[in-house]
Structure 1
Amino acid sequence: MYDRIGNFLIDQRLEIDPANFAFAYHLLSDPNGALARAVASLTDGGVRLTQRDIETLGCEMKPVSGVAAAKEKADGLVAQTQMQVEGFEDMVHAMRAETEGFGRDLAASAEAITRSAGDNAVALGEVARITAEMLERVRTAESRLESVTNEASELRTKLEEARDNARRDPLTDLPNRRAFEEAFAAHSDADQPVCLAVCDVDHFKSVNDRFGHAVGDRVLKAIAESLTKTCGEHMVARYGGEEFAVLFVGVDLETAKATLDTARATVSAKNYRLRESDAPLGAVTFSAGISPSRGGEMCSTVFQRADRLLYAAKESGRNCVRVG
């Protein structure tokens, strides 16, 4: 069991700490339990678990805010998929039964034709009957196959949409934390140099307190747009709340810092106004920390280092970028 737990944590690129060890123990000690089924659903297609998944699932499988609805939707898709598979199986069994029935009819008719070889009219009539039955069965099978194929196509589209939605933030339409951590792991596996930046909106709570959450949401959208436009091909994600993350791939630390500084200056230079009254909102800025990945580090390790740099930027006056 000890070896299996170690292999699981290594395969999933999870930190080998007490909490993750306990999670792996509960998972592997009950391979048919609810936790194992949930993990199998999350990792379908070779997707690795993230630290957030571990925190969300827990060892008791208690849903947290927002997870229950997503789980219910996922369960519905799984049930629909199972029904579709069962439909295919039923169709195959029916077609097999029809084929077997046709084979018996053909054998019986062949025997009848042999017996009545002297009567061409009887023989031709029997052949015509068999042919007509065969055509009718083929048409029925084709109709059923077309119907099930259309349903499968619709289901595939729904599953693709659900998979995309599960990795996208609904407010900003940016990739979410899960998508970001998967992208980091993919680039790390490919031995590509990456720098991870963590950005946090300065004094965001005061924006919500003074103007309401609707205005706060518009501020987050504006910052998301500025980051996406400035960072170009590099991945920008909403990591949670007023926190964004940027994955710089194939560039050095100084280039990443210069790019993020441009985004920071763009955000701070913009004149934000209330849509309802055109009154000025005041300065909106963000602080950030950037750190490169070193020797196959996990996302959580690099993130924590960048997060410490972010807080150093906050303590030094905000609206700046710190690297390390």
Structure 2
Amino acid sequence: MAPLQQSDAVASAQKSPALYQRIGEFLVAQRIEPSPANYAIAYAVVTETDSALAQEVAARTDGGVRLTQRDLDELGMKVEHSQLAADSQQVTEAAELLAARAQAQMDGFTDVVVRMHTQARDFGRDLIASADAIERSRAEQGASPPFVEDVSRITAAMIARVREAERRLEEAHREAEELRRALEAARGDALSDPLTGLPNRRAFEETYAERIAAGQTPCVAVCDVDHFKHVNDRFGHTVGDRVLCAISAALSEACAGHFVARHGGEEFAILFDGSIADAVAVIEEARINIGRKRFRLRESDVLIGTVTFSTGISLALANEPLAKVFERADALLYAAKASGRDCIFVDGDVSI
């Protein structure tokens, strides 16, 4: 019997005392409340010392400065956003890979069915021609030898079987075509957000890549709903989903002609083909219009209140990867959050 392998949980438990001590030292040094959210940040910092989060914490605490709860709230949003984005990316990539493989297999199956159908049809025509020749020979020569009768009978049976095979192959071809169309639709669904109906993160990435390949330098805007967690906590996720749908509709209307996507959670991303000034003007109009709305529960007419969003906008450089321009826009978004929310920050640390 093979020896049992030590489980990850056991190995982790053996390392726990030292890990708890490091986390505790971090919390004590910063004099912060050991809440679940703060503990999660401390855990991420001490276990991934080379991560962007750890580097940002080091920068904020440089010179002996302690983190404030406001710092921790902002860092917590980044941790949650990063995890949600990673999970969404993995799920999307897996679904698209499966759909692509199924599509390729179905295309191959369809080709085989078409070839078989063509071959069966041609063979059937040859058999019918042979049967007709036999019948003409019998009519001209009168009685036929026994073996001719046997060939005639076998040929007739083969014709019947070939016709049945043709019918079944035609049905298989029709079903394969229906499944192929369904797979194409499924791949289309893999590029859309099921809640809002907007394109999703993968669609946004593909569209950005297409525009960069075409020599364009689009503006990337990242919008995040302010205090969205409060809406979910107070009214529930169902109401939160309705708010997201309302925000997505308002953004789509205000940004008509531009590419609007739900990037994940309460975050939306928009591609603008024009100048950064044009992008700011469009987003500002959307921000004002949404800020004027008073959201209410449709069942009870209870007032939810005003919902706002913050935005970071950055202009892509020629042939610049999305990760870089998105990182700039995301940093501008968090700068807008830190400055009081419900505003727009653009390249150059200019607030609107």
SS in 2 for 1:199: strand
Q: 2:329 aligns with which of 301, 306, 316?
A: 306
Equivalent residues in 2 for 1:25-174 (5 A)?
71=94, 75=98, 78=101, 82=105, 85-86=108-109, 89=112, 92=115, 96=119, 119=141, 122=144, 132=156, 136=160, 139-174=163-198
Task: Tell me what 1:189 maps to.
Answer: 213
How far is 1:82 from its partner? Answer: 3.9
Q: Aligned partner of 2:174: which letter?
A: N
Cα 1:148–1:316 change in 2 (3 A) is same
How far is 1:108 from its partner? Answer: 11
Q: Aligned partner of 1:168: which letter?
A: S
CA contact (8 A) 2:131 2:155 kept: no
Equivalent residues in 2 for 1:248-263 (5 A)?
248-249=272-273, 251-263=274-286
Cα 1:108–1:246 change in 2 (3 A) is closer
CA distance in 2, matches of 1:245, 1:211: 25
In the TM superposition, what whole-angstrom CA distance separates every residue of 1:133-184 from its partner, at most 9, and x where no partner exists?
Answer: 6753553343123212211121112111210111111111111100100000
Q: Does 1:236 align with 2:260?
A: yes
In the TM superposition, what whole-angstrom CA distance separates every residue of 1:200-253 from its partner, at most 9, and x where no partner exists?
Answer: 00111111111111111111111000000110021111101111000112x111
Task: Tell me what 1:318 maps to.
Answer: 341
CA contact (8 A) 2:103 2:184 kept: no
Task: Tell me what 2:239 maps to.
Answer: 215
Cα 1:110–1:320 change in 2 (3 A) is same
Task: Tell me what 2:294 maps to.
Answer: 271
SS in 1 for 2:304: coil
Cα 1:270–1:113 change in 2 (3 A) is closer
CA distance in 2, matches of 1:252, 1:154: 44
How far is 1:128 from its partner? Answer: 7.6
CA distance in 2, matches of 1:169, 1:126: 65
How far is 1:275 from its partner? Answer: 2.1
Unaligned runs of 5+ in 2: 1-49, 52-81, 348-352
CA contact (8 A) 1:196 1:293 kept: yes
CA contact (8 A) 1:168 1:179 kept: yes
- TM-score, with normalisation over the residues of structure 2? 0.62
CA distance in 2, matches of 1:179, 1:207: 28
CA distance in 2, matches of 1:236, 1:81: 30
Query: Quick check: which has more Rg, 1 or 2?
Result: 2
In the TM superposition, what whole-angstrom CA distance separates every residue of 1:245-266 from its partner, at most 9, and x where no partner exists?
Answer: 00112x1111111011111111
Task: Tell me what 2:306 maps to.
Answer: 283
SS in 1 for 2:285: helix
CA distance in 2, matches of 1:94, 1:255: 57
Unaligned runs of 5+ in 1: 1-17, 20-51, 57-63
Cα 1:191–1:150 change in 2 (3 A) is same
CA distance in 2, matches of 1:234, 1:73: 25
CA distance in 2, matches of 1:310, 1:65: 20
CA contact (8 A) 1:105 1:130 kept: no
Cα 1:167–1:72 change in 2 (3 A) is closer
CA distance in 2, matches of 1:291, 1:84: 42
CA distance in 2, matches of 1:237, 1:278: 29
CA contact (8 A) 2:134 2:152 kept: no
Q: Aligned partner of 1:294: which letter?
A: L
Task: Tell me what 2:22 maps to.
Answer: none
CA contact (8 A) 2:96 2:190 kept: no
CA contact (8 A) 2:309 2:343 kept: yes
Overall identity of the aligned pairs, in %: 48
CA contact (8 A) 1:195 1:247 kept: yes
SS in 2 for 1:281: strand
The alignment's C-alpha RMSD in Å is 4.2
